[in-house]
A and B are shown apart, each in its own frame.
Chain A
């Protein structure tokens, strides 16, 4: 029935001629065969079986078969059962009966075929529905399987990625951890859920971490923070904890995905780098000073040695018997020459400093201090010292040797930090700048150390005077000569707070 569209002429013949004819012929013939014997037992004329035949034909063969059955039934009825029997003609008294029969037959055919059609339509609809339901069910099952598979894949992925991963609900409560995370902390997912998670963090990092996490939850923005996380072996390692919110269709945060990235090595390397940098700068400072001192010492030592040797020789010539005045005089001449040479060395060293002083540029001293504070930051963090800047505005710009003044500041800052190493944190190093007189500036570097004793303060700027075991005693002496070359003064006072204040003034010439 569903192939009506693709009909060839022979099929069409089969559908609309042969099949209805056969059905109609079959039913009418059966009805006829039954009516023949029964007509003698029942009152004349017996036609009900023909109605049945018509109904059946119309039902099974459609309206065409019904019409054919009417025609056939009429012929059989007229021929065999309506007087005159065995003749096509109809007696007048039977005409009304015959017409009634035909009308009834037509009615039955119509009703039957309509019923049949509607039933077929209903059945078709039901069949279609059923097919659709089946299709849908299969589809559903398939998509269910797919979801399950992708879920499984996802889970495999989260377990396979060599990273520690967790998921938290919308309120930030951890509800799932992958096995890497569980393995690392040595706990089950249940033991890490909710508040217990924060117990895994180093107590020093936990408050800041919690604060950051709460802020991220409130803002619904991504979260990123480094913290030390305790492992199963009770050892803390540095992790970068990163989390992003997952929003549902209505914009609500459905869950948070988090990842722990092990950054212990980087941390260690960085720390090592900072340490190495500190060591290096300290070392280079000391060694360059020591080298300079050694080279100056060597330069001076040579002529002095020669002069001393000539002096000995001179004495020998004079004390000889008889004294050799000519040779003694020549030796004395050489003593003068060598002493002059030594003096020239001293002059060269001084000139070395004077030459540098010519590289002066007009500078905003505050900028210089800020730059130095930036340079010092790593060292200050390493030593747990906070640096504070108290800088005055509207300072005059001065012509200074930036490198030298920065060297002075660096030296004073390093001394200040050294001085605070004996006291426990918080340690604070303050750089202060203010106007001094008409056109000068005063810069102070203040620490909270133990201060400077008066007898030390009196000698602290002397060359080769040092209170540090590995100090060369040159730093502050050089600082003072630099400051004095800038028409200023460097001095130390004890601060009311207990530490020392090294302050210097500089002004334009």
Chain B
């Protein structure tokens, strides 16, 4: 398989200890044109995982070694934010509640309908996409902020805190003209159209 091209594509990662289930799911997803990869255990999946991969995880709740529920927790600890679709032979209510609370997308009972699976996969892909987009935006904002000079960052902080040019000038011991100049550079570099835009951007950076 071509790893480079795979990275761009959304993939369904199937983790089930039963080979025939893995095969069946891969076959079905292949038939409907969805990229799929399968792993026999949670450990095997972690070995092949890279943060650049996109898509979702279809996870059997009953796995030898690490169970599905334990794996969900482990992923959180490792910072893997891939949406999870659980599947099980017979779902017991406490387990369903637990994994759904922990953020699972769907809980499928075997044998499941094709449409159920595809809908869940679609939803999971959407969630993952939104997450990745959000991440991309944040990365861009962070990059813009990085490009500011030390002085510009200070000015930006004071501007977004609501200080007037005059106050900033007094505070930093600069002329008002210099403050205005810094301010324009900040607006340009951060690609902010208005003060309101700049405030929003600074909020998002601070949230990190």
Pair B28/A334 contact, Cβ less than 8 Å: no
Asked if B111 is at the interface (CB within 8 A of a chain A CB), the reply is: yes
Interface-centre pick from B24, B28, B32 (highest chain A CB count, 10 A): B24
* Interface size class of chain B, counting residues whose CB lies under 8 Å from the partner chain: 10 to 19
Asked if A218 is at the interface (CB within 8 A of a chain B CB), the reply is: no
Bound form: Cα–Cα A301–B112 in Å:
11
Pair B28/A309 contact, Cβ less than 8 Å: yes
The contact of B28 among A294, A301, A310, A341, by CB within 8 Å, is A310
Asked if A338 is at the interface (CB within 8 A of a chain B CB), the reply is: yes
Chain B residues with CB under 8 Å of A324's CB are: 31
Chain B 1-41 near chain A by CB (<8 Å), digits 1 or 0: 00000000000000000101101110110111000000000
* Count of A-B residue pairs with CB < 8 Å: 73
Asked if A312 is at the interface (CB within 8 A of a chain B CB), the reply is: yes
Bound form: Cα–Cα A337–B19 in Å:
13
Asked if B114 is at the interface (CB within 8 A of a chain A CB), the reply is: yes
Q: From residue B119, how far is it (CB to closest CB) to chain A in Å?
A: 13
Closest to B31 in A: A316
Chain A residues with CB under 8 Å of B151's CB are: none
Asked if A331 is at the interface (CB within 8 A of a chain B CB), the reply is: yes
Asked if B110 is at the interface (CB within 8 A of a chain A CB), the reply is: yes
Pair A320/B111 contact, Cβ less than 8 Å: no
Pair A313/B21 contact, Cβ less than 8 Å: no
Asked if B90 is at the interface (CB within 8 A of a chain A CB), the reply is: yes
Chain B residues with CB under 8 Å of A301's CB are: 89-90, 110-111
Q: How many residues of A contact B (CB 8 A)?
A: 26
Chain A residues with CB under 8 Å of B89's CB are: 297-298, 301-302, 305
The contact of B30 among A307, A308, A313, by CB within 8 Å, is A313
Q: Chain A contact residues: over half helix, strand or loop, or mixed?
A: helix
Pair A309/B21 contact, Cβ less than 8 Å: yes
Q: Chain B contact residues: over half helix, strand or loop, or mixed?
A: helix
Chain B residues with CB under 8 Å of A22's CB are: none
Q: From residue B80, how far is it (CB to closest CB) to chain A in Å?
A: 26
Closest to B21 in A: A306
Chain A 330-356 near chain B by CB (<8 Å), digits 1 or 0: 110010011001000000000000000
Bound form: Cα–Cα A320–B28 in Å:
12
Asked if A303 is at the interface (CB within 8 A of a chain B CB), the reply is: yes
Pair B111/A305 contact, Cβ less than 8 Å: yes
Asked if A114 is at the interface (CB within 8 A of a chain B CB), the reply is: no
Asked if A81 is at the interface (CB within 8 A of a chain B CB), the reply is: no
Chain A residues with CB under 8 Å of B62's CB are: 298
Instruction: Assess A310 versus B21: contact at CB under 8 Å? Given A294-B90, A304-B111, A305-B111.
Output: no
Chain A residues with CB under 8 Å of B111's CB are: 301, 304-305, 307-309
The contact of A334 among B24, B90, B110, by CB within 8 Å, is B24
Closest to B92 in A: A294
Q: From residue A236, how far is it (CB to closest CB) to chain B in Å?
A: 43
Pair B24/A298 contact, Cβ less than 8 Å: no
**A–B Cβ pairs within 8 angstroms, 6 of them:** A304-B111, A316-B31, A316-B32, A324-B31, A327-B31, A338-B20
- Beyond A316-B32, A320-B31, A334-B20, 5 additional contacts (C-beta under 8 Å) are A301-B89, A301-B110, A313-B28, A316-B28, A338-B24
